Amino acid sequence: MFQPLHLPLLHGVTTTTATTSTSHLREYRKGNWTIEETLVLITAKKLDDERRTKPSSATYDPTPSCGRPSGELRWKWIENYCWNNGCFRSQNQCNDKWDNLLRDYKKVLDYELQSSQSQLDGSDLLQSYWIIDKQERKNRNLPSNMAFQVYQSLKEVVQKKNPQRPITLQEATVTPRVVQPAPPPEAPPSAVAQPAVSASDSSETDMTGKLDSDTKRRRVQDIGSSIVRSASVLARTLRNSEEKKEKRHRDLMELEERRLHIQETHNEVNQQGIASLIAAVNNLSGAIKSLISDQQDSK
């Protein structure tokens, strides 16, 4: 069974301030993302959510507060964290990758909900995403290479979002980004104003809230599906046991019939042998009498 990989939380890492001059010196890595880079990005996004929702807490910050301007873009902060933890990607790459991760996670989550519902109905037409091969994933318009540890890490981040109103499965679709004002958190008297939340953040919060509701619904459906599967397995086991008992009974009856038939045959053979022996004795007795009679006549 797959074992989920926990998010890598690194503490005490010293970094430098992300200034315009240093960003020009960075050589960003291109090409496909590795699983390690993806997990670092998810960790950065998780920490960024925590620092924005809890500005007064001692959340790990890869950029010193004295060198960070108040209007710093959130994805620049994420880039700095990734850069300090071995993921040499730009803020645009991180933003695009995160959007792709959420979209893939949404597809896998919706498919798993449908698969659980299919098993609950007894049709069992849809197998789990983690069972089907890559070709079937492509045929079903699913991400072909979503790693289980990445899925688990994304689910952990999504579930930390504040849940919104309950939604239906049909409403849990990827919506286009819209500009929505986000309510600012209450700041202490000595705290400075927090940076404005971007339009992509508002849309992303709405979508992650929906995913969280879908996750709870999926858990309930998984429990019901497990009960149905267990009852089905128990019924099959009992039926197989009864069939085996009947088969053993039939086999015993057949063996008993064969034994009786063999016994009858054996008795018949014995009777025939005794009759033949008696006839032979009678013949021998007659021959002896005839011989004695002949000898007496000759004298």
CA 49 to chain centre: 27
Query: Across the chain, what does the average pLDDT equal?
Result: 76
Q: What is the pLDDT of residue 102?
A: 95
What percent of the chain clears pLDDT 90, i.e. is strictly above it?
A: 38
| 8 Å CB contact between 98 and 45 | yes
How many Cα atoms occupy the beta-carbon half-sphere of 264 within 13 Å? Answer: 6
72 versus 251: which is more confidently predicted?
Answer: 251
247 versus 213: which is more confidently predicted?
Answer: 247
pLDDT above 90 (res 210): no
60 versus 256: which is more confidently predicted?
Answer: 256
**Is this structure's pTM higher than 0.75?**
no
Q: What is the pLDDT of residue 61?
A: 55
Q: What is the pLDDT of residue 163?
A: 54
Average pLDDT over residues 40-48: 95
Q: What is the pLDDT of residue 8?
A: 46
| Residue 292 identity (one-letter amino acid) | I
186 versus 113: which is more confidently predicted?
Answer: 113
94 versus 291: which is more confidently predicted?
Answer: 94
pLDDT above 60 (res 108): yes
Q: What is the pLDDT of residue 26?
A: 87
Indicate the pLDDT class of residue 80, thresholds 50, 70 and 90. very high
Indicate the pLDDT class of residue 122, thresholds 50, 70 and 90. confident
Q: What is the pLDDT of residue 203?
A: 59
Least confident piece of the model among 52-61, 65-74, 103-112, 159-168: 65-74
pLDDT above 50 (res 183): no
16 versus 215: which is more confidently predicted?
Answer: 215
Indicate the pLDDT class of residue 173, thresholds 50, 70 and 90. very low
Q: What is the pLDDT of residue 6?
A: 45
Highest mean pLDDT out of 59-68, 194-203, 243-252: 243-252
Dihedral of the alpha carbons of 14, 17, 20, 26, in degrees to the nearest 10: 0
Q: What is the pLDDT of residue 146?
A: 94
pLDDT above 60 (res 227): yes
Q: What is the pLDDT of residue 2?
A: 43
Q: What is the pLDDT of residue 9?
A: 43
Q: What is the pLDDT of residue 126?
A: 83
pLDDT above 50 (res 251): yes
pLDDT above 70 (res 204): no
